[in-house]
Amino acid sequence: MNKTCIFQLTDSERDRLGNALVEIAYDPHGSMGYITDLRMIALSALPRRIVDALSEQRASINPRSHLIFENLPTDEQIFTTPAPEVFTPAAKSGHLSENLIMAFASLIGEPYSIFFEGADIVNNLIPTRKSKGEYTGLGSEVELDFHIENAALKFMDDYNFSPLGLLLTGVRHDPQGPLTRLADARAALERLTPEDIECLRMPLYRIKVPYRWRRDSAQQTGPVSLVRGSPDLPEISAVFYPDMVEPTTSAAAFSMEKFYAAIREVSFGIDIVPGRLVYIDNRFTLHSRDKFNGTYDEAGNPMRWVQRVFVAPNLWNHRNLNPVKSRVFQPKEAAVC
Ligand SMILES: [Fe+2]
């Protein structure tokens, strides 16, 4: 794990931030006023070194593959785990975790949500029995193998909603729960031969659009490359969970296999626990989630509760979507499920 990506708050920094964030009312719609409040509070309550790291990431001159923040403030009490799509203020003593993840997100980019990925601006990733076999954040029994979030959408000009990055933080911890794994594609590419990299750079792959994003006219991309841009700061479009990428030649399939093996080799696992927040740069850092069984409390509710926020550099690409809530968008033509 790259130590330059880890930022630890002191106890007094943690308490200062927590005291500032509890004063803000959470707005699940993600209104502009709420986000401006968070930006003002975060800039005054966060230590300078953390504001610098978030600003550098936003500017993207030399972005890190990921950022890990430790010893963050947490909600005083968690009473239960709610259903993932149901806004349930009574589940905990306040909205510190929501304000926390939104404050960090707001200093890196523009937070948003897509309605079918999460009904509120902060998405709850909570395993459900109904979704246990799904390749989504609500699933559990299948490994969500390494991927760039919504990679196929990078190639759909009128539909490019692949996020700049995503943030994850823990609200409740399942000791039997899964690790989230990250892999910096730059380190993986260093392990490949020039011939393999050349192959990954050629338009020899078709990427399936995630099920919920499919339209009649677009089930998969045309032939595209998995790697674009410079070796220092590449733009990656790989997805390694089953049947998502179709190589069009055997050489392309072979290079993709080697890329996948290298991604696994350079990866590391991290537990998304309360008090820890992880930012993943979705341009060249892949992420995965182990499969797990999940444990349940006495009331039968899952112990795992992780929150997620997507960020974009700006929301210009979202202008033709239906804003169901301020920053929660509904694609008009996507498959309804
Ligand atoms: Fe993901």
- Answer left, alpha or beta for residue 11, where phi above 0 means left and psi between -120 and 50 means alpha: alpha
pLDDT tens per residue across all 337 residues of the chain: 788 999 999 999 999 999 999 999 999 999 999 999 999 999 999 999 999 999 999 999 999 999 999 999 999 999 999 988 888 899 999 999 999 999 999 999 999 999 988 899 999 999 887 777 766 666 666 778 999 999 999 998 777 889 999 999 999 999 988 999 999 999 999 999 999 999 999 999 999 998 788 876 678 999 999 999 998 999 999 999 889 999 999 999 999 999 999 999 999 999 999 999 999 999 999 999 998 888 888 888 999 999 999 999 999 999 989 999 999 999 876 654 4
Domain ranges of the chain: 3-186+268-330
Tell me which residue of 28, 285, 331 sits closest to 164, measured CA to CA: 285
Q: How far is the CA of 62 from the centre of ligand 1 (A)?
A: 23
Q: How far is the CA of 241 from the centre of ligand 1 (A)?
A: 11
Q: Which residues contact 212 (CB under 8 A, 6 or more apart)?
A: 116, 117, 334, 335, 337
Q: Which CATH code for domain 3-186+268-330?
A: 3.60.130.10
Q: Is the dihedral of CA 255, 260, 263, 265 positive or negative?
A: negative
The rounded distance, in Å, linking the Cα atoms of 65 and 233 is 10
The rounded distance, in Å, linking the Cα atoms of 167 and 306 is 10
What is the value of pTM for the model shown?
Answer: 0.95
Q: How far is the CA of 134 from the centre of ligand 1 (A)?
A: 12
Q: How far is the CA of 57 from the centre of ligand 1 (A)?
A: 20
Whether residue 307 contacts residue 122, with contact meaning beta carbons closer than 8 Å, is answered with yes
Q: How far is the CA of 278 from the centre of ligand 1 (A)?
A: 13
The rounded distance, in Å, linking the Cα atoms of 102 and 42 is 10
The rounded distance, in Å, linking the Cα atoms of 134 and 40 is 39
Q: How far is the CA of 15 from the centre of ligand 1 (A)?
A: 31
The rounded distance, in Å, linking the Cα atoms of 56 and 47 is 15
